[in-house]
Structure 1
């Protein structure tokens, strides 16, 4: 790095600290100090879009992955004319690391708090996109399981039941929840970006152009989330439909068995009664006639069911 570049980086860092104040949500002392020095009042905003004479309050909820756990983090931007205050889960906030790196590469973003907020929203949008990509990868890794579920048989040719697909269904439900939350995040990011665009003065046309691109990127990620949501819902519906068909087939088999054995059971019930006189018992061919009658009584409903096509 040249001495000029190092000087610019140092000046940018100094300006950044002056124009951007980070306040941890669990640090009342820092919140009080920020309120005294800037006049910011997050309590009045109450987690909603709120405008005062000095600040525009814009809340955003972003999904952040910590290892294998996905957590929802709330960030509130208080955008003023000369300073940006962020109420965030902690300081430093890992989701903003890429924004800080972007600001260092583009020092002119520190000229206004609007430029800093642009970089922060850009970083949050990328975090949200990575979460959606992760959910998409999860669905792709389940392709074989989903294919087996829709076909109805596993790799050994054994029929798949509800219990066999329980783990897959649970993971698909988790993916759907993640994508649904990401859709909400994109809506909040788009709203914050549009408010930011409205606050940019004509004296900063380049920043206005960057924010326009950001708005398009946020909308693009939202469309990606919508696509993934539709896909996971379709896969869920396919699996459930396949399992419902299988359950209906099982019920149909039991119904057919019941229909076939009901007439012979009725005949057996008659001859199981303890009547004093049963003429068939004295017939020479009584046993043969009764057996034949029972067999025919079983074949008649089976023939009727097959004729109706209910065995298909």
Structure 2
């Protein structure tokens, strides 16, 4: 699908047909393009656009390059960020003179919000480079929102870990399992956003070089610099969230270890407490003909009292030493 935009009163307007309005179109957005649509764009733009396989290459030379006077820039962007399993896929920006082409195979939210805003408000996006800067600003704003939401979720997980938990062991085990799953999901989001920010950081650095090379306006260069700084600060924040997630993972595993040690401790103490009564019962359960207390009328209550006392004394000693 091709969406072609033209400038109308300093606003972007969706054109009906790219070919019919070819001279006026400043931005062509390709979503899951067919071979025919790729051919149409290449004819209109005058340069070949990359295939999906070429967009997915990870080396810098395949993502940031100049070809036939056009500047190709590819970044990895997230989509479906409303859930904890974002779809990460590359998006290529092709800047050729006053025209911009974007090629993508998924739908980052910025590609929905930015055109709607540019149609309603005069944002100054009248050429390919200003549209590209506006898109990048919308993308960075969206990534910031995702990190803010992830940060709030991580704070909630932190409180769940360190607050008092249920007294039932099976309920605590279920809680810890859910916490580990939540921590894993947040780590996936943080690492995905960090990868996206790293690709954007490289893109903005390349774009700053391009802006100097083709002598973009001072205002555009300042906006590129601001976007680059925002991306760098967000990358630092994403790194901080990843470190905090690692800490919470270690803390959760530590809490699970404490729970297991407490359970083992209970069994160990119970075994030690019941060992002396078992010894007394074993002595008086031996099958010898001559046992001094065998004919004694108080022998049975004496043995019972001796077993109870032998259980109470170790328990009292453990409590006195602070082992319980």
TM-score by length of 2: 0.74
1:181 offset after TM fit, Å? 1.6
SS at match of 1:59: strand
C-alpha distance in 2 between matches for 1:235 and 1:24:
39
1:182 offset after TM fit, Å? 1.4
Match among 249, 258, 262 for residue 271 of structure 2: 258
Counterpart of 1:182?
193
- For residues 104-148 of structure 1, the C-alpha deviation after alignment (integer angstroms, 9 at most, x for no partner) is 6244x544x4333222222211121122222234345x47xx546
Structure 2, gaps ≥5 residues long = 1-6, 16-20
* 1:160-239 mapped onto 2 (5 Å cutoff): 161-201=172-212, 203-204=215-216, 205-239=218-252
Q: Is 1:121 equivalent to 2:136 in the alignment? A: yes
CA 8–52 in structure 1, closer or farther in 2 if over 3 Å, else same: closer
SS at match of 1:281: coil
C-alpha distance in 1 between matches for 2:275 and 2:12:
91
Counterpart of 1:271?
284
Structure 1, gaps ≥5 residues long = none
Q: What is the alpha-carbon root mean square deviation over aligned residues? A: 3.7
CA 299–120 in structure 1, closer or farther in 2 if over 3 Å, else same: same
Counterpart of 1:152?
164
CA 110–201 in structure 1, closer or farther in 2 if over 3 Å, else same: farther
The answer on whether the counterparts of 2:93 and 2:101 sit within 8 Å (CA) in structure 1 is: yes
C-alpha distance in 2 between matches for 1:131 and 1:215:
18
- For residues 65-99 of structure 1, the C-alpha deviation after alignment (integer angstroms, 9 at most, x for no partner) is 36546532423324344243322125x86522444
- For residues 253-298 of structure 1, the C-alpha deviation after alignment (integer angstroms, 9 at most, x for no partner) is 2221111001211332343344444444245654455445434432
The answer on whether the counterparts of 2:27 and 2:101 sit within 8 Å (CA) in structure 1 is: yes
Counterpart of 1:20?
27
Which deviates more from structure 2 when the two are superposed, residues 179-188 or residues 297-306? 297-306
Please state which structure has a larger fraction of its residues in helix.
1
Counterpart of 1:105?
122
Counterpart of 1:38?
47
Match among 135, 147, 151 for residue 150 of structure 2: 135
TM-score by length of 1: 0.76
C-alpha distance in 2 between matches for 1:246 and 1:59:
48
SS at match of 2:75: strand
C-alpha distance in 2 between matches for 1:237 and 1:72:
27
SS at match of 2:172: coil
1:12 offset after TM fit, Å? 11
- Matched residue count: 299
Counterpart of 1:29?
36
The answer on whether the counterparts of 1:61 and 1:74 sit within 8 Å (CA) in structure 2 is: yes
1:21 offset after TM fit, Å? 3.1
Please state which structure has a larger fraction of its residues in strand.
2
